[in-house]
Structure 1
Amino acid sequence: MPDAAVVSRARRLRACAVLVLVGALLAAAGTGAPSAARPPVDATGLDTTGSGAVGGVGAGVGGTAVDVTATDHARIALYQQAVSVLPDGARAEVPADALAVFLPGTRVPDPAAAVLAGALGATPTTAAALGPRAATQAAGAQRTWVAAGEVPGAGGPYEELARAALLDLHSLTVAEGVVVAGWSEKWRYVWPRDSSFVAVALARTGHLEDALAVLDFLARVQEADGSFEARYLPDGSGPPDDRGLQTDGTGWAMWAAGLVLAEAPADRRTATAERLAPLVERSAGRALALVADGLPPASPDYWEVPEVEVTLGTAAPLVAGLEQAAVVLEAAGRPGPAAEAAAAAEGARRAVVDAFGATGYGRYATRGVPDAASAFVLTPFWSTAPHDAAAAWRASVTSMLRPARGLAPGGGWRRDGVSWTPQTTLYAWVAAEQGDVAGALRWLDVVDRHRTSSGAIPEKVLADGSPAAVAPLGWSAACVLLAIDALERATPERGSRGLT
């Protein structure tokens, strides 16, 4: 009789062979991966004479050709379907045309499947040579990390979505506290904005030390005056280019610090606040100077393009950040700076409401152009929403909705049919925080239906529902986790199984 382990191994190899063959047939039939007719181009929804920004929400702006159909729907390639975790902390992209087979509960490629795929001429999950023992160890480490926290929605319909988002955040973490926005070349940087959202998501899913490490990295790269560059190299040596400062990063860092502090146990609260205080105090000093006259100066925001007029996406995060700065600094035993931050937050809040409230909290104070930044004046950003702000946020959906039922970044965004998952997942989270369960579920369902074959959330979804551009995107994964977590917090009596 053959050894049981040998029989089990043989069955597993046969199963992998079938999976690879099916994947190859699907790829040949044009199912799943973009077809040869879809060139690897990008479309941001902006005029292609833009700034040349790449990464975050503004990935690929500037001179990049946009391939559109007769109905002006953009065609954008899926650059890769996931990021795989290899031994010794290495990472590798999973090609869009691969039939990805991971070890259960991980983003670690199955070595047997990779070998078979290569032998059969199909695209393997990874081209790296990966031995069974090393793969098992890497998988164990990733499973241990997930188990150390909590999976929002466990036991319910969104457990798999949340688990995949957690795995992808872990896969995008390339060093302690260093979470790149995405794995494609032009996204493989650290954006203070994206990292701030990731830090909050990590804290709320039980990974407090990881969240603090993310904010520690921001503190290391922050300028002495509290400002932030648009993005940073993963080694912390500085920015990759001369794109310059982006004001919203200062606000987001303070905001994230406050929300991360809220997840610290009572016996660790003071020590955690003291750890966060240098980042927050520098940021608050910068913000105080920026809002001294009310609204801050114009700056690029999450659209990643130059601006000559201040946007809500720049002004609102400073208010959110200053509110949280007051909380962190008070907890750290710095009442004077805390009081200054609180007073500045109130003054900046009045300025934003006076300027943007009259035009329905649109992108600019001078004209009512709906924008996803309308979410930034609501919970979980501002402690108290302005009058009619929630109605303005809900009204923004009409002009931002796209064919796949996701959202564009704003009503002024190009009508190319592309949905953006950072904004769609942001609206899921904000809806959950407002108690709009049906709205949160609607946006989560849109993202859940349009993930890649590996289950990763792409940056974009085309008009025909195809996932496109970089996958996964850390900001979107973070907002998914935060939305599911908020639904559970808002309806604890229903439990995760009630999120239907």
Structure 2
Amino acid sequence: MTTGHLHQLARPSRAAGLWWLAAALVVVVTLTAGWLQHRQSRVPLYLSTLAVGRDGSVVEVKPGDEGQLIAGTRVLRDTPDAASQVRRQQDWLAAGTVPSVPELGDTTLVRDALLDLHLLAQPGGVAVAGAPPPWNNVWPRDSAFVAAALARTGHHGDAEHVLNFLTRVQGHDGTFQARYRTDGSLVPDDRGSQLDGVGWSLWALEVVAGTVPRSERADYVRSHRRLLDASSAAIGNALDPDSHLPPPSSDYWEKPSEDRLSLATAAVLLAGSESAGRLYRTIGATRAAETNTSRAIDLRTAISTRFGPDGYPRYLGGPARSVDLGASFLLPPFVREHPADVVDAWRRSASEMARPAGGLAPGGGWRPDGISWTPTTATYALVAAALGDRESAVHYLRWLDVHRTAGGSIPEKVLADGSPASVAPLGWSAAAVILAAAELTAG
């Protein structure tokens, strides 16, 4: 009797346990669904592309209004002098080259990216990151990519304007603010200086100078001696004499402040030091060339020693899974000399940064919102091309091509479902695509 009684008491207890288990599962599923929904954030597409409208002004083309464009151009149909504007765009393209990657077929990806850079140029050739606020400001990093892309495609005058703007806004101590207004007179916020700007300016100057005929190269570099001297001096002043590393500074993540040194900051200063050494050698400034080359060797060793054992993470001493775009800046076309373990870290980082739509986030430790960022993805295409990894470069370029807006521009972001989002075009992304194509077509 006691046993039977206990058996009868146990059955409702088991049923109750199963009920609570089912209820718990429902809660978990509900919370998980909400968590996933939060992870896969929704961001609208603000612009589809840019176009030339009345009086030659650049206008924003909203999503759904792409039918107003003349096919194959960045000109609105109702523009009174449409034929003339189309001809001007064609003439501008013809003045340079449009790198063609056979594996991409007859896509207009690179051609459209060039037209987008052309339209993003403000009076005087100032390269804004994008058209609407707050993208309609000038970032030294983005400007470096744009100057390099314009120079590699034969648009030397436009590239020169970008370098001149950087020279004009550079601080007395050689550093740059995080971003500038197009007139160069005001900084749009209180983000303060960002140390990597000096590295980007030197890298861009070397790329542009490298496209100038060899017989004219030394004179060209001398004409930009102010930018060269100020930027290289700023790097020298920033590096610790004992550790040979720079202090913490904001980088492409654009956090208001950083209390830890990021790999991206150190890597870009390394790229700048290497470029400065070669630029000084071009003009016969032997002592300055040796100083910057020696500085680059010390910085490269410090990066390898301090970041390398942890797998080149985003932050000094951080976990390997936090590896981000900074690993790319330790590789060609930014840095020429690199140890094999950097390539390994770069390849590993792609899996850490992968997002549902197939693109890449800015880093392995980036917020888990499911969004791909095209500046990151396009830069990976560029590095792959520079490393000779043609398959990976073409893969990323195809992905970017497929995820353009209906207006043909590369958006800043791509959502988890593959939809273009945020602003389009974006200068950094367009420039990196052009540079990747140029690398793939280089003889």
Deviates more, 1:141-150 or 1:84-93: 84-93
2:99 aligns with: 152
Counterpart check, 1:474 vs 2:441: no
Instruction: Report the AA paired with residue 103 of structure 1.
Output: I
Deviates more, 1:396-405 or 1:90-99: 90-99
2:248–2:262 CA contact under 8 A, matched in 1: yes
Q: C-alpha distance in 2, partners of 1:140/1:357?
A: 52
The alignment's TM-score, normalised by the length of structure 1, stands at 0.78
Kindly tell me: are residues 443 and 219 of structure 1, through their superposed partners in 2, closer, same or farther at Cα, counting changes over 3 Å? same
The correspondence for 1:458, drawn from 395, 406, 411, is 411
Instruction: Report the AA paired with residue 174 of structure 2.
Output: G
Give 1:239 deviation, angstroms: 1.1
1:269-308 Cα distance to aligned partner (Å, 9 max, x none) = 1221112221111000000011143111111000000210
Q: State how 1:83-98 maps to structure 2 within 5 Å.
A: 83-86=50-53, 89-98=56-65
Deviates more, 1:386-395 or 1:100-109: 100-109
Q: State how 1:20-31 maps to structure 2 within 5 Å.
A: none
Q: State how 1:280-429 maps to structure 2 within 5 Å.
A: 280-293=228-241, 294-305=244-255, 306-367=257-318, 368=320, 369-429=322-382
1:105–1:143 CA contact under 8 A, matched in 2: no
Kindly tell me: are residues 104 and 363 of structure 1, through their superposed partners in 2, closer, same or farther at Cα, counting changes over 3 Å? same
Runs of 4+ in structure 1 over 6 Å off: none
2:48–2:66 CA contact under 8 A, matched in 1: no
Give 1:68 deviation, angstroms: 8.0
Instruction: Report the AA paired with residue 352 of structure 1.
Output: I
1:138 aligns with: 85
Deviates more, 1:82-91 or 1:354-363: 82-91
Kindly tell me: are residues 465 and 179 of structure 1, through their superposed partners in 2, closer, same or farther at Cα, counting changes over 3 Å? same
SS of 2:122 mapped into structure 1: strand
Give 1:324 deviation, angstroms: 0.6
1:181–1:190 CA contact under 8 A, matched in 2: yes
Q: C-alpha distance in 2, partners of 1:68/1:195?
A: 37
In terms of fraction of residues, the more helix-rich structure is 2
Counterpart check, 1:193 vs 2:146: no
Deviates more, 1:190-199 or 1:200-209: 200-209
1:78–1:469 CA contact under 8 A, matched in 2: yes
Give 1:378 deviation, angstroms: 0.8
SS of 1:70 mapped into structure 2: helix
Q: C-alpha distance in 1, partners of 2:291/2:70?
A: 52
Gaps of 5+ in 1: 1-66, 112-129, 493-500
2:350–2:360 CA contact under 8 A, matched in 1: yes
Q: % of aligned pairs identical?
A: 46
2:101–2:441 CA contact under 8 A, matched in 1: no
Instruction: Report the AA paired with residue 150 of structure 2.
Output: L
Give 1:337 deviation, angstroms: 2.1
1:320-350 Cα distance to aligned partner (Å, 9 max, x none) = 0111112222223433322222121111111
SS of 1:224 mapped into structure 2: coil
Gaps of 5+ in 2: 1-33
Deviates more, 1:398-407 or 1:93-102: 93-102
1:86-108 Cα distance to aligned partner (Å, 9 max, x none) = 35552211112213332354211
Counterpart check, 1:108 vs 2:63: no
Give 1:250 deviation, angstroms: 0.8
1:74 aligns with: 41
1:432–1:487 CA contact under 8 A, matched in 2: yes
Q: State how 1:161-310 maps to structure 2 within 5 Å.
A: 161-293=109-241, 294-305=244-255, 306-310=257-261
SS of 1:242 mapped into structure 2: coil
Count of aligned pairs between the two proteins:
404
Give 1:261 deviation, angstroms: 1.0
1:91–1:171 CA contact under 8 A, matched in 2: yes
SS of 1:444 mapped into structure 2: helix
Kindly tell me: are residues 143 and 395 of structure 1, through their superposed partners in 2, closer, same or farther at Cα, counting changes over 3 Å? same
Q: C-alpha distance in 1, partners of 2:75/2:290?
A: 48
Give 1:158 deviation, angstroms: 5.8
1:237-269 Cα distance to aligned partner (Å, 9 max, x none) = 131121100011111000111111111112321
Larger Rg: 2
Q: C-alpha distance in 1, partners of 2:351/2:430?
A: 24
Give 1:177 deviation, angstroms: 2.7
Q: C-alpha distance in 2, partners of 1:346/1:320?
A: 11
Q: C-alpha distance in 2, partners of 1:154/1:357?
A: 34
The alignment's TM-score, normalised by the length of structure 2, stands at 0.88
Instruction: Report the AA paired with residue 294 of structure 2.
Output: A
1:100–1:453 CA contact under 8 A, matched in 2: no
Q: C-alpha distance in 1, partners of 2:83/2:340?
A: 54
Instruction: Report the AA paired with residue 325 of structure 1.
Output: A
Q: C-alpha distance in 1, partners of 2:208/2:248?
A: 28
1:83–1:168 CA contact under 8 A, matched in 2: yes
